[in-house]
Structures are given as structure tokens and as C-alpha cells.
């Protein structure tokens, strides 16, 4: 079942529960689902040249497959391309399973987005579960094809500008910003079989996954080294992430304020108070 079908089914189910829950509650829930449907439609229906930019909190994945260069020395280019496409055919469904969006293929590398164009409450978690599933899928692919391909990941969460990127004649939906650059850098420094994540991805998912803190890495354009974490697996007894979600949400609002989205400081203060569940003084 596609994401659109799931949303439509959920809306139909809520419509049938009006007598139980009341119009107000049902309309509130359906409104959020309709927004997600509209976001899906906009990607399909809107010409690329008309895709407007918006700031979004997104988790970016860079996944690099290693081993094709060595195979290219022994195999015909057509055979290497066929093998690469079949490999992508195993890995991409892992991303789709967790509602990730393929941004682009860059040679033997995949760039995927979790949270754009459609956002979910747990996009960082989805990205990590997709990465673990891709490791398992590639292991099975190697056994079936007698290959020794590897894969390594850089995953980061942060504020990006999402929308049409390109010339006035041709644009494609993508994201850009510091969070994207850090994800790409983490992929560069990762080794075969590793999933490296940035600080915000770690904070959002620490109750759910086992991590090993690595040495901070220096990233071009940043004054201080960035703390990096290695994903070691899923926790046997996961905790709750509500408090961490609040941390990121408040941080997001602060960033928006610094970008002059909130022009009035008193309005921003009221927004923060509402996020924390308190009435403004």
C-alpha cells in the first residue's frame, strides 16, 4: 500500500468515527492528514520551475556503495551497470519502506531525505532503521551474487532550504544547507559498514539505538570540531523520545527567529511558551 493510499484510508476511517469522537476532534486529525496529502500532490503536480523554497527540519542520508570500482577493472561496463542497478533495486525499497525520498543517485552513492517533502514525527529514527535495513539487504545481495560490495553512511538532522534547485528552465526538488554538508562529510569519513550520525540525529534517537561516541571531526566552515556517533544497533529496551523532540523543536524555533521568520520578539516568546505547555506571562 502506498503512502497516499494509507493516508486516504486513514481519512476514511476517521470520517466514520465522527459520531464517536465528535466533529471537532475528527476535523483536527483529518486536517493534518490532508496537509500530508497536499504535500504529496505538490511534488507530483507542481512543475519543477515553480517549486518554492521552504525551511524544513530534515534528516539527510548519504549512502556510498564501495566495490564497484574494483569490479569495473574486471567486468564490462554494461555488466557493472546492470549489477549496480540491481543493487540499487535492493537498497531503494529499504528507504521507501520508511517513507524516505530518493533525492538523487551520484554514481554509486544514494542521497535520500527523511522529512521532505513530507515530514513525520520520527524522521531521524526512520533514516537509521532504513540504513540498518540497507546493510542487511546488501549482505544478502552479496551472498546471492557472489560479490563483496560494501556500504557506509553519513546521516544528519538539521534545518535546510527545500524546494526547486536548478536553472530557470530546469529545476528539481532537493535540499541545501549546512545540515546537508555535514551529512556528506560524515559519509566521507565513515568506513565500510559504518553508520555515522551528527549531534542532533543522536539526540533525537539516543533512547532507541545503541551508540558509540567517536572522536570529534573537523568540518570545513565550522570553528569547533563536530561530535560524531557510530550506530551500533537497536536497543533491546528502547526509551521514550518526547523530551528530545521538544529539544529539537525549541531549537528549530530559535533558528527560525535568528533567520527573521519571527519578526516580533514578544510573538516569539509566546510561541516558545506554547511549545513548553505554559501560558505566556
Over residues 16-39, the pLDDT tens digits come to: 767 666 666 666 667 667 766 776
Both 100 and 229 in one domain: the answer is yes
d(CA 163, CA 47): 11
Both 126 and 216 in one domain: the answer is yes
Both 92 and 183 in one domain: the answer is yes
Both 1 and 60 in one domain: the answer is no
* 80 pLDDT more than 80: yes
Both 128 and 166 in one domain: the answer is yes
Burial of 253 (0-12, 13-18, 19+ CB in 10 A): middle
Over residues 90-143, the pLDDT tens digits come to: 999 999 999 999 999 998 999 999 999 988 989 999 999 999 999 999 999 999
Both 204 and 247 in one domain: the answer is no
Of 9, 30, 45, the residue that ends a domain is 45
Cell of 46: 507542481
Both 216 and 251 in one domain: the answer is no
Both 233 and 149 in one domain: the answer is yes
Both 173 and 143 in one domain: the answer is yes
> Total domain count for the chain?
3
Both 213 and 82 in one domain: the answer is yes
Both 157 and 246 in one domain: the answer is no
On whether the pTM is more than 0.85, the answer is no
User: Which of 123, 118, 120, 119 lies closest to 208, judged by CA?
Assistant: 123
Both 41 and 124 in one domain: the answer is no
Which range marks the domain in which residue 270 is found?
242-281
Amino acid at each position: 500500500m502506498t503512502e497516499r493510499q494509507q493516508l486516504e484510508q486513514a481519512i476514511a476511517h476517521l470520517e466514520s468515527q465522527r459520531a464517536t469522537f465528535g466533529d471537532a476532534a475528527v476535523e483536527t486529525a483529518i486536517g493534518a492528514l490532508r496537509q500530508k496529502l497536499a504535500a504529496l500532490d505538490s511534488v507530483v503536480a507542481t512543475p519543477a520551475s515553480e517549486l518554492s523554497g521552504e525551511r524544513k527540519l530534515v534528516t539527510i542520508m548519504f549512502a556510498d556503495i564501495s566495490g564497484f570500482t574494483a569490479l569495473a577493472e574486471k567486468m564490462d561496463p554494461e555488466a557493472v551497470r546492470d549489477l549496480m542497478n540491481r543493487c540499487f533495486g535492493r537498497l531503494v525499497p529499504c528507504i521507501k519502506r520508511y517513507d524516505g525520498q530518493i533525492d538523487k543517485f551520484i554514481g554509486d552513492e544514494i542521497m535520500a531525505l527523511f522529512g521532505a517533502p513530507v515530514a513525520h514525527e520520527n524522521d531521524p529514527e526512520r533514516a537509521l532503521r532504513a540504513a540498518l535495513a540497507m546493510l542487511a539487504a546488501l549482505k544478502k545481495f552479496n551472498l546471492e551474487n557472489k560479490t563483496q560490495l560494501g556500504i557506509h553512511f553519513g546521516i544528519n538532522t538539521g534545518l535546510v532550504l527545500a524546494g526547486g534547485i536548478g536553472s530557470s528552465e530546469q529545476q528539481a526538488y532537493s535540499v541545501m544547507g549546512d545540515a546537508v554538508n555535514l551529512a556528506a562529510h560524515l559519509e566521507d569519513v565513515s568506513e565500510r559498514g559504518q553508520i555515522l550520525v551528527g549531534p542532533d540525529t543522536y539526540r533525537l534517537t539516543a533512547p532507541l539505538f545503541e551508540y558509540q561516541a567517536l572522536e570529534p571531526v573537523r568540518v570545513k566552515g565550522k570553528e569547533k570540531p563536530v561530535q560524531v556517533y557510530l550506530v551500533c544497533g537497536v536497543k533491546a529496551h528502547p526509551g521514550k523520545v518526547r523530551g528530545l523532540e521538544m529539544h529539537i523543536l525549541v531549537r528549530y524555533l530559535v533558528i527560525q527567529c535568528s533567520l527573521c521568520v519571527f519578526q516580533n520578539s514578544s510573538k516569539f516568546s509566546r510561541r516558545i511558551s506554547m511549545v513548553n505547555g505554559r501560558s505566556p506571562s
